[in-house]
Amino acid sequence: MMVGPEAPSYIEVPQSIQPDLPRRPQLKGTLPVPRELFPANRPDKPTESYISDAAPLPSNTTLKVSPDHPQYERLQWKQKMAENRRKNLREGLLELHERKKNSHRRMVARSNTRENLRTQIMNQPPRKDELLTAPTTVSAMKPTKCKVLPNPGAEERLAQSIVKVQEAQAAKREDMMNSLHELYVNAQKFIVNEEQLKAELERVFPDKNNPDWANGRRAGDSIWNLGPPPTMSSLAYQTKDELTKWETVQRRTKRLAEELTGGKI
């Protein structure tokens, strides 16, 4: 047979005497997951009420046009197609629901059969040939079948874990109570209306025409009395300032009193 150079049989390749297995065709792409026609939240789909609502019957089965009308055959054909669609919907839903029930019944029966077989195999005694050919061993050395492995000291570890959880919950509850108390103490300083906001702005940023805004004091309510922001060198040597030392002592004393009294001051 004369074949061209573009044909696969242009070069003869020796074949094996035994026939080769047919190659499995490679399917390109993936099939989509089929939609669940009868979900659990719609148990009324295979019922007559759902079918009548999905494909209601026409109110009038007779055509409104005469047989000699030019569109009579077309309207008659459309009416026939509508009847076929209603019939196909009814038969399709009922047959698919029956198919689903049958497949579910077969699956349950197959699962029960496998479960019963597994239970029978697990509970059956050893065979006679195994008993006769098994080496002589002490009964205490034979492996014991138990569902739960022994766990010595589990009760003690469980009790320790319960105590740790209770301590963590108590610490979390105490932190929550401290936060609520601190919020209650600081709530009296909250600004809740515009009048308080204006008063706070006047206190912190007073009018420059007021002679008290630049009195040269380091401490005070006015922001203009604080001077420029602190530098790194001033922060490093701020302990040399007597006023800073006094403020640090007062802050530490306040914290100590709060720890002793158990509340915010």
Kindly report, residue by residue over 127-177, the tens digit of the pLDDT: 888 888 877 777 777 767 666 777 889 999 999 999 999 999 999 999 999
Q: Is the pLDDT of residue 36 over 50?
A: yes
Q: Is the pLDDT of residue 217 over 50?
A: no
Instruction: Confirm if 46 and 94 have CB atoms less than 8 A apart.
Output: yes
Q: Position of tokens 């049989």?
A: 9
Amino acid at 116: N
Alpha helices in the chain (DSSP H): 48-54, 72-123, 128-133, 154-186, 194-204, 232-236, 242-261
Distances from the Cα of 248 to the Cαs of 241, 252, 254, 260, in angstroms?
11, 6, 10, 18
Q: Is the pLDDT of residue 203 over 80?
A: no
* Higher pLDDT, residue 246 or 223: 246
Give the CA angle between residues 89, 94, 100 to the nearest 5°: 125
Q: Position of tokens 């401290």?
A: 178
* Higher pLDDT, residue 165 or 206: 165
Question: Half-sphere exposure of 16 toward its Cβ, with a 13 Å CA cutoff?
Answer: 4
The pLDDT confidence band at residue 239, using thresholds 50, 70 and 90, is low
Kindly report, residue by residue over 247-259, the tens digit of the pLDDT: 888 888 888 888 8
With a CB cutoff of 8 Å and minimum separation 6, the contacts of 9 are: 1, 3
- Cβ–Cβ contacts within 10 Å for residue 200, how many? 13
Q: Is 143 exposed, middle or buried (0-12, 13-18, 19+ CB in 10 A)?
A: exposed
Q: Return d(Cα 101, Cα 88) in angstroms, integer.
A: 20
54 three-state secondary structure: helix
Tokens describing residue 103: 């497949």
Q: Is the pLDDT of residue 260 over 60?
A: yes
**Mean pLDDT of the region 66-93:** 89
Give the pLDDT of residue 17. Answer: 83
Instruction: Confirm if 176 and 193 have CB atoms less than 8 A apart.
Output: no
Whole-number average pLDDT of the chain: 83
**Mean pLDDT of the region 199-204:** 79
Residues in the chain: 265
* Higher pLDDT, residue 74 or 111: 111
Kindly report, residue by residue over 85-131, the tens digit of the pLDDT: 999 999 999 999 999 999 999 999 999 999 999 999 989 988 888 88
The pLDDT confidence band at residue 223, using thresholds 50, 70 and 90, is low
Give the pLDDT of residue 27. Answer: 83
Torsion-angle region of 28 (φ positive above 0: left; ψ -120 to 50: alpha; else: beta):
beta
